Amino acid sequence: MPFAALGLVPALTRAAGTQNFIVPTAIQAAAIPAILRGQDVLGRAQTGSGKTAAFALPLLQRLIAGRSETPRKLRALILAPTRELAVQISEVILALSRSFPQPLKTVVAFGGISINPQMMDLRGGADIMVATPGRLLDLIDRNALKIGDVQTLVLDEADRLLDLGFADEINRILSLLPVFRQSLLFSATFPDSVQRLADNILLNPTRIDVEAKSDAGPAIVQRAIEVDSRRRGELLTRLIHDNGWTRALVFVATQNEAEQLSYLLCHVGINAAPFHGELSQRKRSAALADLNSHALQVVIATDVAARGLDIPQLPVVINYDLPRSADDYTHRIGRTGRAGESGLAINLVSAETEAHFRLIENRNKFRLPRERIAGFEPAQTAVLPAAVPAGGIKGKRKSRKDKAREAAARGET
């Protein structure tokens, strides 16, 4: 089915063509007609499914059909959890709207850098704003922006917005928006908090559910390799060499570990850089640009990088440390196998983390065979639930997580 069949006008189908979007992805085919009709949309989709263009194309069509005033009144507001995602969305919008005879003005704003250039950008108003919630409120508080004329609100990666603690900011923003508006909410996962938010802001939404492994979605091969925790660095180096990966994203649990592991890899001749929340925006952007241009071979990231980043044709993601939650697992491995390409996700599982990995498997309803690499066979074996001290691993009493891990290891959940 071509884009034109979805109700897009020639200017927008041409814009899609300039990006080599010839056939709509599943979420685009479902979302574009609904958004053009003015309906609210509740979309379950990962980054990588083509969801940015799924809302950007119809949004742009509605905006060019409308009347622009001087100064420009903000008509579309897109909230994103991270600066990387906000920048990415604004780049897609700019690319799709570049050839319009009367260009729409898109402004992107996020925290962590000076607010002044963003206030300057907003002089004369804007048609579209892509922002992280905190910085958006700062701009509103400084009278740089009014959102009382917004016609369409997009919440992108709503689960991540709530995970990052933006619930209060979102509520304040909602209170400043017009009651009559179109609202679109996209999320990779739907815990109760996201469902409540969706119930609160959406009116009779069109529900769209795109599984990660849909036709348009990524095909990700997942592997679990058993290794002693202290030998993971060595094994990682071996895997990178043996497989000839020219680019890889490695996830670790802490900023410190990201620093140390990239130092270790550089030491053995693998060009690696850390990527975490404490680094300046300039360093984070440079690491991504270098990975994209093959100047850098490996990025070692904390979960700040797990969502929203679009690194084309990233062949492999490695969980050096396992993620804390099953949802984070989904987000992490979604960095590989983008837009129909195949990808590989490797998990390094040690005796200490076996029970936790089983929990992730159970929650996400998959089970991987455990592999061993010659020379890296683990000396330690997983602690069986029965051998876990009665008080649990962390504290004196078993936490809910400890109990869930034990049940998972027994195959009960």
Give the containing element (helix H, strand E) for 183.
strand 182-187
Q: Per rule CB under 6 A, is residue 52 in the interface with ligand AMP?
A: yes
Gap between the Cα atoms of 15 and 69, Å rounded? 24
What is the separation of C-alpha 191 from the centre of its chain, rounded to a whole number of angstroms?
A: 16
Q: Per rule CB under 6 A, is residue 84 in the interface with ligand AMP?
A: no
Q: Per rule CB under 6 A, is residue 338 in the interface with ligand AMP?
A: yes
Least Å distance between CB 64 and ligand AMP?
20
- Shorter beta-carbon distance to ligand AMP: residue 303 or 402: 303
Least Å distance between CB 25 and ligand AMP?
5
CB-based contact 181:59 (threshold 8 Å): no
Least Å distance between CB 323 and ligand AMP?
20
Q: Tell me the one-letter amino acid at 84.
A: E
**DSSP assignment of 276-294, as one string?**
-TTS-HHHHHHHHHHHHTT
Least Å distance between CB 199 and ligand AMP?
25
Of 13, 51, 14, nearest in space to 31 by CA:
51
Cβ atoms within 10 A of the Cβ of 39, count? 17
Least Å distance between CB 52 and ligand AMP?
3
Gap between the Cα atoms of 277 and 284, Å rounded? 9
Expressed in percent and rounded to 5, the helix, strand and coil fractions of the chain are: 40, 15, 45
Q: Which stretch binds ligand AMP (CB under 6 A): 24-32, 73-81, 148-156, 255-263?
A: 24-32
**DSSP assignment of 341-356, as one string?**
-EEEEEEEE-TTTHHH
- Shorter beta-carbon distance to ligand AMP: residue 91 or 149: 91
Residues paired with residue 77 on neighbouring β-strands, in sequence order = 129, 153
Q: Which stretch binds ligand AMP (CB under 6 A): 42-50, 139-147, 159-167, 394-402?
A: 42-50
Q: Per rule CB under 6 A, is residue 81 in the interface with ligand AMP?
A: no
Q: Which of residues 339-378 bind ligand AMP (CB under 6 A)?
A: 339
Beta pairing, strands 152-155 & 76-79: parallel
User: Among 12, 15, 25, 301, which residue sits at the site for ligand AMP (rule: CB under 6 A)?
Assistant: 25
Least Å distance between CB 309 and ligand AMP?
9
Give the strands of the sheet with 152-155, arranged side by side.
106-109, 128-131, 76-79, 152-155, 182-187, 41-44, 206-209
Q: Which stretch binds ligand AMP (CB under 6 A): 50-58, 143-151, 155-163, 282-290?
A: 50-58
User: How many residues line the site for ligand AMP (CB under 6 A)?
Assistant: 17
User: Among 15, 24, 279, 346, which residue sits at the site for ligand AMP (rule: CB under 6 A)?
Assistant: 24
What is the separation of C-alpha 137 from the centre of its chain, rounded to a whole number of angstroms?
A: 22
Least Å distance between CB 56 and ligand AMP?
8
DSSP code, position 91: H
As given in the structure block, the two tokens for residue 124 are 């004369």
For residues 298 to 317, the per-residue mask of contacts with ligand AMP, x marking binding by CB under 6 A and - elsewhere, is: ------------x-x-----
Q: Which stretch binds ligand AMP (CB under 6 A): 43-51, 139-147, 321-329, 400-408?
A: 43-51
User: Among 6, 29, 31, 47, which residue sits at the site for ligand AMP (rule: CB under 6 A)?
Assistant: 47
- Shorter beta-carbon distance to ligand AMP: residue 19 or 99: 19
Using the structure block, give the residue that is written with the tokens 């990975």.
291
Least Å distance between CB 201 and ligand AMP?
21
Residues paired with residue 222 on neighbouring β-strands, in sequence order = 345
Which residues of this protein are in contact with ligand AMP, per CB under 6 A?
19, 21, 23-25, 28, 47-53, 310, 312, 338-339
